[in-house]
Structure 1
Amino acid sequence: MARGKPAVWSTLLGLPFIGTGAYTYFVELEIPSLLGLPFAVFGGFIIIMGLYIHFVAAPESPTMRENERLVDKRHPTQRVALVRICLGLPLLAVTVYLMFFSQVPYVYPTGTLLVGLYFFSNGLQVYWSNSLTTYYLTNRRIIREYRLISLIRQELPLDKVRGVEERKSVTEAIVGLGNVKVASGGGGGSLKIVMRNMERSTKFADQVREYV
């Protein structure tokens, strides 16, 4: 099972789209009923993806090797996803108001819909991705694991790490987030693992340096 409650939150976020689509299709007479179908389909997609991620696409813990032990386990924070979703929701609410409760030309709700969907969809994608991403630090390896339809696992032995880089934008520094990149070398063939949107990223980077 994926971390958090993606099925619950996806259902809560998808139901308003289904409701808007059903209202447009069955009740609202001044708007073409077929315009309700994309809303309903989008809402259904959100709910189905949330259920799939919650119950099917959960990541698996890596198998520890001989004399290997887990030092730290991290997940990307969901703050970034939450901010983007919260930016999109008011614009989508404005779209509903302009469509059903005002007489403005359709170009205005279309504009707020497109911008709102951009932030909302991007935030939802980040939320789903973060729910399925895990970072592991052992005394021998750094592992980044992501699983949606297929498993993607990046591993970098600590004895091959040649650089540890920590980056924080101004916004990330304010909210206490950061990104840590480890690399096996500086050439084009080097292996790199980037761990994004981490809380207490400095502590994690220092832990990596202790074992390098």
Structure 2
Amino acid sequence: MRVRVSLVDVLAVLAVLLATAACTVPNKLAPAPESSNTSTEPGLGSNLGCQDAWSGNATTSPDAPKVSGVSSLAWLGSPPNYKWPITDSTDGYPYTANGGTNYGAWKSPISIDQGTGGRVLTIDSPSDAAIIVASATKWESSQALRDGKLQLPDSYTVTACTDRPTQFPGMTLVRGPACVVIRVTDPATGSSSTISVPMYGATCP
């Protein structure tokens, strides 16, 4: 049996569908409590080992400040042209993390002597400074890292390769001119030492 469908019937069905869509679509498109510009994603991980490091032997400088087997040439301080506030690319490198907090960044890869056991890196002061230590893979591929949508850990534990010096990418972050005091702790002995890093025009005593 062939069923005849009139134009009136088709229009009636379309009217019902449109009315239903008008009621339901806004709920699906309603904005989240926070926009994607301010949302954060999980951190990059705070326990890094040989498998997370850059490949090959780390290139270290004899001038790089070293604390408990951990060193970074960047710990000499940010470039002299870096200043606060950052108004253009010559003033520094603006970066956002921790739920939309604006920082001035200085790329600070760290090197660890061959065979060095776990070392814990933390910030002593100022309280609003932060550091990033990342795996080489995430440094290259993490969209959250590039977009500044990360919640940063308070500390990082880094362990060197047994057969070579080891290097991890990272950054030092400040909210203004600051002498950033970074503490390196050996959990096996409980001993620790600090290094002071002048950032964005600040000086360290």
TM-score, structure 2 as length reference: 0.23
TM-score, structure 1 as length reference: 0.22
**Structure of greater Rg:** 2
The structure with the largest helix share of the pair is 1
